Chains A and B, each alone.
Chain A
Amino acid sequence: MTMEEKMGGSNREGEALDRFPVGMRVLAVDDDPICLKVLGTLLLKCQYQVTTTNQAISALKMLRENRNRYDLVISDVNMPDMDGFKLLELVGLEMDLPVIMLSAHSDTKLVMKGITHGACDYLLKPVRIEELKNIWQHVVRRKKPDSKDRVNALNQDKASGGIGEAVQTSTSSSDQKFNKKRKDQNEDEEDDGEDNEHENDDPSTQKKPRVVWSVELHRKFVAAVNHLGLDKAVPKKILDLMNVEGLTRENVASHLQKYRLYLKRLSSVATQQANMVAALGGKDPSYLRMGSLDGFGDFRTLTGSGRLSSASLSSYQPSGMFGRLNSSAALNLRGISAGVIQQGHPQTLSNSINGLGKIQPVGLPANQNQNGTLFQGIPSSIELNQLSQNKSDNHFGELNPVNNPNVFGVATNFPDARMTVGSSSSSLSTPSGSPLLLQANTQQAQHSGAFGNQSSLRVASLNQESFDMGVHGFSNFVDNGRCHENWQNTVQLSSFPSNSLSTCEAFSHEQLHTNNLQESISWRSSHLNDNPIDLSASMANAGLEDSRGDMQCQISPSNNVIHNIDYAAKQQWGENSSFAGADSLVAGAPYVQHLEAGKLAFNTKLRSNEDILFEQRKPQNEFSQNNFETLDVISSSMIKPEQYNETGMMEGEFGYDAFPLGSCI
């Protein structure tokens, strides 16, 4: 053994394929130090290169820093800072690395969950060294589809080095991947001669080719789904719309299934957010746009506090408010749910989102799990956005499935806000989606802290059309995962559901329509607290269709408020129509007031969560003014200074010119 080790160690590079397993770089994540230590030593015994960490967040960071530094990730399922499944999804999505789950639980459901989230394998603790000796096959398997020839060559030539490259290759082109994957699948792994005992075994025939859903691909998918309408989205049509070479109907079908689940999850959160988002979203396309990407940057800063995404979201969770999420949903603006929504409010988001678009209220699992919540909410928003056209990168949807690992599953997916950004760039094409994405991103931010916001921004920006969903808010939303779907910038801020969901700043849901976002800002911040769902409903009612930017000022100040908000929201909804127009704001105003009170209450609450963003939202309540003015106010109010380190920023953003929204952010 010793000799082998030595040999292995020295000849790591540039070895033939047979040497491949040796020197493979593994990243091990487990909160239990004992298991981690044992695992690390075992891996070393197998002649792998091991990096260990007991924090999922730091693992993500390391992976992001240099994705090529690792070939494989082994992660525990139960971890305090982030759910293992969420991490799994994120890694799979962002870095497309094979991930192996590890747990002392042998529950079938968990294993199933691991598989659906994309795990390569599921090992039981205590881990045996024999099992670890075979894990390298997953790495090779993945690489195969991509540039198969290359991979082969690579594998043969290099040991670890090649692998890294191969991995890269695979990640580089999703399309390629698909093709490759398929091919790979068909070929089976004979090359490696591994015994496919794992789930990926026998890729040929039995299973559809394992397609890797990269961010872009997912974005396209979401866009297609939104375009068709979630209910009517059939794999065949989606496939046609996506027009991706090498993608099979089966791939799309299974992805769609997952996405739907994700949306469901989000919807609960999202509804909340959606509300928010709606408020935010609509408004200023310009705002969104601009900022969206840029805004993100800004938001990021806003969130500066970084907290947005993570904080917001996280705090959200504590709030547990699903509704909060909605507020966070503010982030969600639709999609924002990413961070915020995730918080568990996915439910609300979904609600809100439903309102918005199709968002399936699926009742996002009140994900406390930040992880999922955001996304979930986001998907909802995304769906919601469907109305608006948001193309919220359905990434959210995808992301959400993640178990809300603290991070907001949704958001976490976005970790790099990439997700949303992607969506956002698409100008929120997915009305809800984008916001969500942003949110999701923001959510990610949660982890990353800043993402959330960014995502939201993105989302906002996506809204191309005036939706701009308050993407601004998104940045906040990072916290809130605002799913504003349409939230065009105007409300965007509202979207910040960032944690503070409470402030659910009225998303200008409807922004879609009227680009006038301003009004839309009615972002339901309020919904956040209470039941984002309610809000979402309200929001939805508000006529997201109105596109006026239903500004749902839902600002549902913390839970208490939420109720109010819901109520108000509902009322507002009725009034939304009025909101839709500038008037609605007025209508909302009363509500807003109501909310305001609530908001404050909420704000405080949020603060705890870090809602800060929401606080900004609160100003939104104020925006009943249709124009952002209200929003500004709201945002300002929303932004409770404390928490908001980030939100404060939002305010600035929100303060946006009320309508030019562009300035909003």
Chain B
Amino acid sequence: MESKHVHQQIAAMRQSFFDEEVLDEFFSQLEQLEDQNNPNFVEEVFTMYFRDSTTLLETVEQAMKTISITLAKLDKILHQLKGSSASVGAKKVLNEINKTRQVLEKGNLEGTKAGIWEMRKEYESLKAKLEPYFQV
């Protein structure tokens, strides 16, 4: 049946997320939080996440363009991103963020840029994957 089919699809997608480690156990935790009182909780959270992170990422990119970017500020933004990503269970993105932060700490600006780029990539892919998931 349709619904069954859809369910299966959802299940399959979800499983693939975990397999690819795009999402981690926190995502499951989020799902647990969802219930009758809180329908679509996960979706809401992710919507918010995407919205905020997009802004943050843009800020980061802009900051990178400015010559006099302070590492501290950048770090702060990354930290915030880290927190958000961790909360939603976006594992890969989180990993990338961590890597970038480490590079940043060392003061390697170029490396940081590369890291940020990677982050963005992961982030985009996460977004792409989750969107259909939610639509279903």
- B88/A38 in contact, CB under 8 A: yes
- B82/A104 in contact, CB under 8 A: yes
Q: Which of chain A's residues have a CB closer than 8 A to the CB of B82?
A: 104, 125
Q: Which of chain B's residues have a CB closer than 8 A to the CB of A35?
A: 83-84, 87
- Residue A236 at the chain B interface, CB threshold 8 Å: no
- B87/A2 in contact, CB under 8 A: no
Interface size on B, residues (CB 8 A): 24
Nearest chain A CB to B58's CB is how many angstroms away?
16
- A34/B87 in contact, CB under 8 A: yes
- Residue A129 at the chain B interface, CB threshold 8 Å: yes
Nearest chain B CB to A631's CB is how many angstroms away?
40
- A37/B84 in contact, CB under 8 A: no
- Residue A78 at the chain B interface, CB threshold 8 Å: yes
Interface string of B47-67 (1 = CB under 8 A from A): 011001000000000000000
Report the Cα distance A125→B88, complex, angstroms: 10
Report the Cα distance A45→B36, complex, angstroms: 12
Number of A-B contacts (CB under 8 A): 63
Nearest chain A CB to B73's CB is how many angstroms away?
12
Q: Which of chain B's residues have a CB closer than 8 A to the CB of A37?
A: 44-45, 48
Report the Cα distance A127→B29, complex, angstroms: 10
Interface size on A, residues (CB 8 A): 23
Report the Cα distance A70→B82, complex, angstroms: 29
- A34/B52 in contact, CB under 8 A: yes
Q: Which of chain A's residues have a CB closer than 8 A to the CB of B48?
A: 33-34, 37
Question: A104 contacts which of B29, B30, B44, B79 (Cβ < 8 Å)?
Answer: B79
Contact residues of B between 1 and 60, Cβ < 8 Å to A: 26, 29-30, 32-33, 35-36, 38, 41, 44-45, 48-49, 52
Q: Given the known inter-chain contacts A32-B52, A38-B45, please indicate yes or no for A126 contacting B86, CB distance below 8 A.
A: yes
- Residue B108 at the chain A interface, CB threshold 8 Å: no
Contact residues of A between 85 and 138, Cβ < 8 Å to B: 103-105, 125-129
- B32/A32 in contact, CB under 8 A: no
Among A34, A37, A41, A45: residue with most chain B CB under 10 A? A34
- B83/A38 in contact, CB under 8 A: no
- Residue B76 at the chain A interface, CB threshold 8 Å: yes
Report the Cα distance A104→B86, complex, angstroms: 8
Question: B33 contacts which of A34, A42, A76, A104 (Cβ < 8 Å)?
Answer: A42
Q: Given the known inter-chain contacts A32-B80, A104-B79, please indicate yes or no for A41 contacting B87, CB distance below 8 A.
A: no
Nearest chain B CB to A544's CB is how many angstroms away?
37
A residues at B contact (CB < 8 Å)? 1-2, 31-35, 37-39, 41-42, 45, 76, 78, 103-105, 125-129
Pick 10 A–B contacts, CB within 8 A, sort by A.
Answer: A1-B35, A2-B35, A34-B45, A35-B83, A35-B84, A37-B45, A41-B38, A41-B41, A104-B79, A126-B83
Top 9 nearest A-B pairs by Cβ distance? A104-B83, A126-B86, A126-B87, A34-B84, A104-B82, A38-B87, A41-B33, A35-B87, A125-B83
